[in-house]
Structure 1
Amino acid sequence: MKAITIEEFGHPDVLKLSDVPDPLVRPADLLVRVYAAGVNRADLTHRTGGYGRPDFGDSPIIGLEIAGEVIEKGNAVVGFEVGDRVMGVVGGGAYAELARIDYRMAMPIPAQLDYVHAAAIPEVFVTAHEALMHLARLKPGDSVLIHAAAGGVGSAAVQLAYATGATVYATTDGSKLSRVEHLGADVAIDYKNSDFAEVIASKTDGRGVDVIIDFVGEPYFARNLASLANGGRLIQVGILGGGGKVALELEHILYRHLQIIGTVMKSRTQPEKHEMIKRFREHWLERFEGGGSLEPVVDSTFPLSRAADAHHRMESSENVGKIILTMQPADLL
């Protein structure tokens, strides 16, 4: 099969289209003919050596989410059959014509969705649900600040928060404000020209928000804490602005009853990942059906052979929503 391989870590041009052996199907696996695969920030970390080895996860092939058709299944698989359209999260191996996926990490593709839009769902919406609903315990009437709201997870989080009935504040580039508002943000903040902490203080009369979902890290940390209401929860999903060291006054955590929670799907155990998929599927999957309130946001598509261009697009931070790789002719998508 054709797949993207990495012989050395580095710039996007290290991504090469190669012939590699088909994946071996284990008892709990589905073998999927991949028609579309999502590009994620974790893929950039993989490509540049941030995980320390090329085979971090279940495959030396890059990529974490797929959409395609089941062509074979292991003898322990329950609930899926050959010919089913599925989407889901893999432990590596998505940038390929064939991929294996633990059936407990797979979900049926809603009938009206094509493969491209299905591939824009699993990683980002599952991560957004885990951060907002499971960890932050967001509920109707709460207020939430979502950073990097035009990105993959950010755009999913805005939609889930809006669908939950929360008041949604969101930071993004000024050119993307209207797109973020369309997704459900009540207040979209141009992070380059406004201090989000000042905007939150003004809009909430100094109270702050109940939840913050942050992908940036150290540069935002102090202002994030200042923007939380008493009892507020900061969910740290990424560190795009750098990890670094942060300083905090423990009295603020103690007396304001604040919580700081970190989450990364890739480093979780397989049983934990199964539960994450299950929670999302039970809570939201039907909302992608015809007339539902959720929509996967696709920024652009690239053929598998142009994976390097897809990575350049993500590194530019110009995208709104997901960047998708396609493996088959357009009439199949």
Structure 2
Amino acid sequence: MQAIVFDEFGGPDVLVARALPRPELRPHDLLVRNAAIGVNRADVAHRKGAYGRAHFGDADTMGLEIAGTVVEAGPQVQGFAVGDRVMGIVGGGAYAEYSRIDHRMAMPVPPGLALADAGAVAEVFVTAHEAMFHLARLQAGESVLVHAAAGGVGSAAVQLAHAAGARVFATASADKREAVAGFGADVFIDHRGEDFQAAVARETAGRGVDVVIDFIGAPYLERNLRSLALGGRLVVVGLLGGAEAAPLPMDLLLFRHLQIFGTVMKSRPPAVKQAMVQRFAARWLPALADGSIRPVIDSRYPLSQAAEAHRRMESGRSVGKILLLPDAS
């Protein structure tokens, strides 16, 4: 099968196509012929050396997210059979024509959702659900501020919050205003031209929002806390702006009864990741089936052009997910 590998850390050009054997099936695995592969920021970090080695996780190849058709099932698989359309999260090995996936990390692709689109669902929607609903306990009638709302997880978070009946504040660059509003944002904030803390204070009459979902990290920490209402919850999902923050204003935490959570999927134990997938599926697969929520796709590249897909992600111009298509290579 064709797969994407790299022999040294570096820029997108280190990614090359190479013929590799199909992955060996384990008792709980499905072998999937991939129709679409999601590109994630974790893949870019992996390529640059953030995890210390090229062979990290569950496979010798990179990639975390797939959608395709089951071609073989292990003896301990339950709920899936050869020929089923599935989507889900793998511990590595997505950048290939075939991937193995533990069946407990897989979800059925709802009728009406194309396989070529389903590759844009699992990683971002599961992460968004975990952050907003499992950790931050967002409820209908509450308000949430979603940063980087034009990205993969951000666009998913806006949709889920809107569908759940929350008031959604969203930050992104001004050129992405229309797209983000289309995801369901009630208040758009241009992160380059506006101070989001001031915008939240203005729009909430000084009360603040109940939840903040943040991908930026250190530069936003204090303003995030000052944007929260009494009893508010901050969930940190990414560190795009850096990890070293100024001293934390502890008086805000204490007197405003705030909570801060951090979440990341890649390094979690298998049982934890399985539970995350299953929580999302139980609540939201019907909404995917009826179109209430939808994968947002920025662009599609043949698998052999993985380097171009990484360049697109690093450009900062994308809105939604970037996909690799094995059949187009």
Pairwise CA RMSD: 0.9
Q: Deviations over 1:35-90 (max 9, x none)?
A: 11000000001000001121221112111000011001110000000011100000
Q: Determine the structure 2 residue equivalent to 1:106.
A: 106
Q: How far off is 1:292 after superposition?
A: 2.9
Q: Determine the structure 2 residue equivalent to 1:80.
A: 80
Secondary structure of 2:107's counterpart equals strand
Written as runs of structure 1 = structure 2, the 5 A alignment for 1:124-163 is: 124-163=124-163
Q: Determine the structure 2 residue equivalent to 1:15.
A: 15
Separation in 1 of the partners of 2:153 and 2:305? 23
Q: Deviations over 1:80-127 (max 9, x none)?
A: 000111000000000000100000000011111112210000000000
Q: Deviations over 1:285-325 (max 9, x none)?
A: 11111x33111100100000100000000001101100000
Q: Determine the structure 1 residue equivalent to 2:324.
A: 325
User: Residue 221 of structure 2 contacts residue 245 of structure 2 at CA under 8 Å; is this kept in 1?
Assistant: no
Secondary structure of 1:93's counterpart equals coil
Q: Determine the structure 2 residue equivalent to 1:235.
A: 235
Q: How far off is 1:153 after superposition?
A: 0.1
Separation in 1 of the partners of 2:146 and 2:246? 20
Q: How far off is 1:145 after superposition?
A: 0.2
Separation in 1 of the partners of 2:255 and 2:223? 17
Q: How far off is 1:142 after superposition?
A: 0.5
Q: How far off is 1:246 after superposition?
A: 3.3
Q: How far off is 1:254 after superposition?
A: 1.2
* Mapped pair 1:119 → 2:119: yes
Q: Determine the structure 1 residue equivalent to 2:58.
A: 58
Q: Determine the structure 1 residue equivalent to 2:283.
A: 283
Aligned residues: 329
Identical-residue share of aligned pairs (%): 59
Q: How far off is 1:243 after superposition?
A: 1.0
User: Residue 226 of structure 2 contacts residue 252 of structure 2 at CA under 8 Å; is this kept in 1?
Assistant: no
Separation in 2 of the partners of 1:11 and 1:132? 33
Indicate the larger mover: 273-282 or 108-117: 108-117
Q: For structure 1, list consecutive stretches of 5 or more residues without a partner in the other structure.
A: none
Counterpart amino acid of 2:187?
V
Q: How far off is 1:245 after superposition?
A: 3.2
Written as runs of structure 1 = structure 2, the 5 A alignment for 1:200-211 is: 200-211=200-211
Q: For structure 2, list consecutive stretches of 5 or more residues without a partner in the other structure.
A: none
Q: Determine the structure 1 residue equivalent to 2:167.
A: 167
Q: Determine the structure 2 residue equivalent to 1:297.
A: 296
Q: Deviations over 1:142-195 (max 9, x none)?
A: 000000000000000000000010000000010001110011000011100000
TM-score normalised by length of structure 1: 0.97
Q: Which runs of 4+ in 1 moved over 6 A?
A: none
Q: How far off is 1:237 after superposition?
A: 0.1
Separation in 1 of the partners of 2:212 and 2:80? 37
Separation in 1 of the partners of 2:64 and 2:95? 8
